[in-house]
Amino acid sequence: MPSPETFHVQSAPLQPLLVKEVWEILSGRALWTMLLLMCPLIGYSFFQAVSLYGEASSAGLQSPVLASSLSPLDGVLVPTLGASYVAVTLLFPFVAIRVLGQEKETGALRLLVQMPYHSATLITAKLVTVLAAWVLSSVPAFSALAIWRLFGGHLSAPETLNLLFGHLLYGLLVGAIALFAASVSESAATAAIVTLAFTIGSWVLDFTVAGHPGLLEWVASLSLTQVLRTFEQGLLSAGLVVGVGTAVCGFAALATIWLPPGVHVRNKLVRSIACVLVAAIVLGLATQIRLSIDVTEDRRNSFPVLDQRVLAKLAEPLVVTVHLAPEDPRYADLQRNVLAKLERVLPNLSIRLAGGRQSLPINAGDDRYGEVEYTYGRRSDISRSTSPREILPLLYSLAEVKPPAPAPGGDYPGYPLVAPGQFALLWFFCGLPFCIALLWWCSRRLPVNYRKLTKEVLS
Amino acid sequence: MDGVIRLISPSSPIRRSTPLSVEAASASRRADDQVLLRVDSINKQYADQAVLSDVTFDIEAGQIIGIIGPNGAGKTTLLEVLAGILPAEASDVQWLGTPLPPSRRREAMFYLPDGVRPYQDQPATRVLSFFADVYRRSADEVASAIEAVGLTPVLQKRVHSLSKGYGRRLMLALGLLTPHPLLLMDEPFDGFDLRQIREIVGVLRKEVTKGRTLVLAIHQLRDAERVCDRFILLADGHVRGVGTLNDLRARTGIVDGNLEDIFLALT
């Protein structure tokens, strides 16, 4: 029994806090319901992806040229994990909100904040729990990858890990927003509305304003769904990782600020403003980080290795002036095939749109519309091509360097596969839901050590 | 290091960077000044309505203090402000003569709110184990707390399925597992019958003999008279009287009056 004369604790252990958080999330229905809903969602996406990939592979098996265009990243991984993205967007907020919202609603938070933990420690523990919940909710997606391997499908480790890392960051971002929402809201329902305003709002933003020029394009770039795009393209971007990490830390910091009930609202507002300012500055700096790694096996985001080496040595600034409207499909091609690759390799590159961010009809009267001007040092040339096969020789000519000799071999072979996708449906519609239901039932039982403790007390 | 619990000594000034040590209640007993907690002018408003106005009182160590008042008197608000989980316009509190800001109240006191069922999906055992692990309680201490409040029959039940009385017992057991020298409890007897109240009073008395000080917010005057050593009479957010029953009798001139008579006379 407690005795003030003798009691002295130097530090509160973290383990009981983490154990409590994990049990809390395992005891609720939200996580298990989400898992059960994800089984058919991911299962059907996987089945469709494998079927379509199989159809394309039938032709690819006859022709090496066709086969080289078959990448499991695009054909199977992205669509399968796309279903996971939908679930994380729509369902995961409810799981993450429960981590804090339940304690707020039942009053347990008033006990928790009196315990010898700093608010930041409490929120960190909850964020770790959200991470654990994301890992658990990704079991259907992981099982889809395992089945793909069982079918004999190819998985490139860097591509797969990069994509999973992107989804992890997205899950953490949604979780951090949910924690912030739960922290500022009095009820879980309000927190859900706030979080869904972020996640579904981003989705709607993507549908409605993406592809539009000017301010709308900038607004669309703020969408949470943009987080995944780069990873789906097989790029590991340092700027994006730092940006998302900052956003996660920012929302977690805001949740920490709003957690203690004994602090005046005006103090919380002042601290929040300071926190948002710091996060905005770091986000601004993150946009300046251009380092990115092409993790794709077919090196779709890079020029051939020998070209990369030559281009990396071009010391003078290259200015690319594009006479195209941003929504013109040719601009998208040029951006994907040439400009994005140049940005990753050239140390001094500036790209400007001649018509600014003006739309297609405004640019229509321009005689030079469609031209792309490349200026290297004092020399310049013009091209209308969007293919690196024409642009690279033009650049070498401007820089007066010798083009590298084409290296034999090293071409991406492609991985065609015709697999019986319907067998996977059995797993996703019967086997996996049964296993999840079994685990749910097991989690409801009192663990052995608690039964032992109860027996000890009773005896 | 995060989460340091430091019991506060009269000799060490409370500064952020200095770890506070030591033997609070026993030290206070040795000290000339018996005041453990000095509350000076707590003011709390909701919008334009003053809920607590200039609430001032002292709490001495090793006693059971009753904050007495009807529903809406401000008892819960006072406890929450004291515990530092509700902001107030003014809340000057001194612990053994040293100012204790709201952010550090949890180092000296623990507050058990009314109507809270913590971690409803968990078995009672797990909730107790959580508190015991956080405060590094031994299995014997946990068993002792469980036995003291009579929680044994429902240990394996989930918190949401506990009756009101057992819910109270669980909260009380959690309070017993905390190490703080001062324990604040809101309506600790709500949901208990007469026999159970006597049991719980015994548990609380035993706790006081171990050096803890208890502050109970009670709206049932008979329960309060049965358990408390001193009373703080609260009505409409104002303190109407502070002292033992005899002090209050002397003040009101009601020689044989019970707490009910005195409360009515003072409010």
Q: CA A262, CA A265: separation in Å to the nearest integer? A: 9
In a domain, B60, yes or no: yes
Query: Any CB–CB contact under 8 A between B108 and chain A?
Result: no
A114·B110 Cβ contact <8 A: yes
In a domain, B78, yes or no: yes
- Same domain membership, residue B98 and residue B18: yes
Whether residue B24 is predicted with pLDDT greater than 50 in this model: the reply is no
In a domain, A2, yes or no: no
Whether residue A6 is predicted with pLDDT greater than 50 in this model: the reply is no
How high is the pLDDT of residue A147?
96
How high is the pLDDT of residue A61?
82
In a domain, B155, yes or no: yes
In a domain, A405, yes or no: no
- Same domain membership, residue B190 and residue B85: yes
In a domain, A409, yes or no: no
Q: Which of B223, B217, B31, B15 lies closest to B100, judged by CA?
A: B15
In a domain, B232, yes or no: yes
Residue of A nearest to B118 (CA): A108
Higher pLDDT: A459 or A378? It is A378
Number of structural domains chain A divides into: 2
In a domain, B203, yes or no: no
A450 neighbourhood in chain B, CB within 8 Å = 123, 125-126, 129, 156
Number of structural domains chain B divides into: 2
Residue of B nearest to A7 (CA): B179
For A54-81, the pLDDT digits (tens) are 999 988 888 878 888 899 999 999 999 9
Q: How does the average pLDDT of chain B come out, rounded?
A: 85
- Same domain membership, residue A194 and residue A162: yes
Q: CA A142, CA A155: separation in Å to the nearest integer? A: 12
Distance from CA of B220 to the nearest CA of A (A): 23
In a domain, A166, yes or no: yes
In a domain, B57, yes or no: yes
SS3 of residue A284 by DSSP: helix
A5·B121 Cβ contact <8 A: no
Query: Any CB–CB contact under 8 A between B84 and chain A?
Result: yes
- Partner residue facing A450 (CB), from B102, B119, B125: B125
- Same domain membership, residue A184 and residue A61: yes
SS3 of residue B114 by DSSP: coil
Whether residue B20 is predicted with pLDDT greater than 50 in this model: the reply is no
Q: Which of B105, B108, B142 lies closest to B127, judged by CA?
A: B142
Which of the four pLDDT bands, split at 50, 70 and 90, describes residue A212?
low
Which of the four pLDDT bands, split at 50, 70 and 90, describes residue B222?
confident
CATH of the domain at B42: 3.40.50.300
- Partner residue facing B135 (CB), from A3, A9, A28: A9
Distance from CA of A195 to the nearest CA of B (A): 23
- Same domain membership, residue B132 and residue B67: no
Reading the block at residue A136, the tokens are: 């658990």
Q: Which residue has the tokens 């009267």?
A: A365
A261·B85 Cβ contact <8 A: yes
Residues with Cβ within 8 Å of residue A255, at least 6 apart in sequence: A100, A123, A126, A176, A179, A180, A182, A183
Reading the block at residue A303, the tokens are: 């020029």
The domain of B147 spans 116-179
Order of all β-strands in the sheet with B213-218: B109-112, B182-186, B213-218, B64-68, B230-235, B238-243
Q: CA B151, CA B144: separation in Å to the nearest integer? A: 10
- Same domain membership, residue B233 and residue B101: yes
For B158-205, the pLDDT digits (tens) are 999 999 999 999 999 999 999 999 999 999 998 888 888 999 999 999
- Same domain membership, residue B137 and residue B9: no
Higher pLDDT: A69 or A210? It is A69
- Partner residue facing A115 (CB), from B117, B134, B143: B134
The domain of A379 spans 305-399
- Same domain membership, residue A90 and residue A143: yes
- Same domain membership, residue B95 and residue B226: yes
Distance from CA of B80 to the nearest CA of A (A): 9
How high is the pLDDT of residue B15?
35
For A368-410, the pLDDT digits (tens) are 888 999 999 888 999 999 898 899 999 999 988 888 887 766 6
- Same domain membership, residue B218 and residue B96: yes
- Same domain membership, residue A338 and residue A287: no
- Same domain membership, residue A326 and residue A260: no
Query: Any CB–CB contact under 8 A between A20 and chain B?
Result: yes
- CA dist A443 to A33, A78, A139, A419, Å? 14, 32, 16, 36
Distance from CA of B95 to the nearest CA of A (A): 15
Whether residue A176 is predicted with pLDDT greater than 50 in this model: the reply is yes
How high is the pLDDT of residue A458?
53
Residue of B nearest to A121 (CA): B2
Q: How many CB pairs below 8 A link A and B?
A: 168
In a domain, A5, yes or no: no
Q: Which of B130, B249, B158 lies closest to A111, judged by CA?
A: B130
How high is the pLDDT of residue A25?
92
Whether residue A241 is predicted with pLDDT greater than 60 in this model: the reply is yes
- Same domain membership, residue A368 and residue A279: no
A12·B3 Cβ contact <8 A: yes
Query: Any CB–CB contact under 8 A between B260 and chain A?
Result: no
- Same domain membership, residue A173 and residue A85: yes
In a domain, A455, yes or no: no
A9·B148 Cβ contact <8 A: no
For B97-140, the pLDDT digits (tens) are 899 999 899 999 999 999 899 999 999 999 999 999 999 999 89
How high is the pLDDT of residue A352?
87
SS3 of residue A405 by DSSP: coil
- Same domain membership, residue B78 and residue B188: yes
Q: CA B187, CA B81: separation in Å to the nearest integer? A: 16
Query: Any CB–CB contact under 8 A between B4 and chain A?
Result: yes
In a domain, B205, yes or no: no
For A98-136, the pLDDT digits (tens) are 999 999 999 999 999 999 999 999 999 999 999 999 999
B111·A114 Cβ contact <8 A: yes
CATH of the domain at A373: 3.40.30.10
- Same domain membership, residue B147 and residue B55: no
B211·A3 Cβ contact <8 A: yes
- Same domain membership, residue B48 and residue B150: no
- Same domain membership, residue A46 and residue A136: yes
- Same domain membership, residue B134 and residue B5: no
Mean per-residue pLDDT for A124-152? 96
A116·B85 Cβ contact <8 A: no
Higher pLDDT: A87 or B32? It is A87
In a domain, A9, yes or no: no
Contact B77, B86 (CB under 8 A): yes
Distance from CA of B143 to the nearest CA of A (A): 5
- Same domain membership, residue A324 and residue A273: no
- Same domain membership, residue A149 and residue A24: yes
Whether residue B32 is predicted with pLDDT greater than 80 in this model: the reply is no
- Same domain membership, residue B228 and residue B255: yes
How high is the pLDDT of residue B22?
39
Q: To probe the interface with B, which of A25, A29, A106, A449 has the most B CB atoms within 10 Å?
A: A106
- Same domain membership, residue A343 and residue A227: no
Query: Any CB–CB contact under 8 A between A117 and chain B?
Result: yes
The pTM (predicted TM-score) of the whole model is 0.87
Q: CA A182, CA A97: separation in Å to the nearest integer? A: 6
SS3 of residue B172 by DSSP: helix
In a domain, B201, yes or no: no
- Same domain membership, residue A373 and residue A341: yes
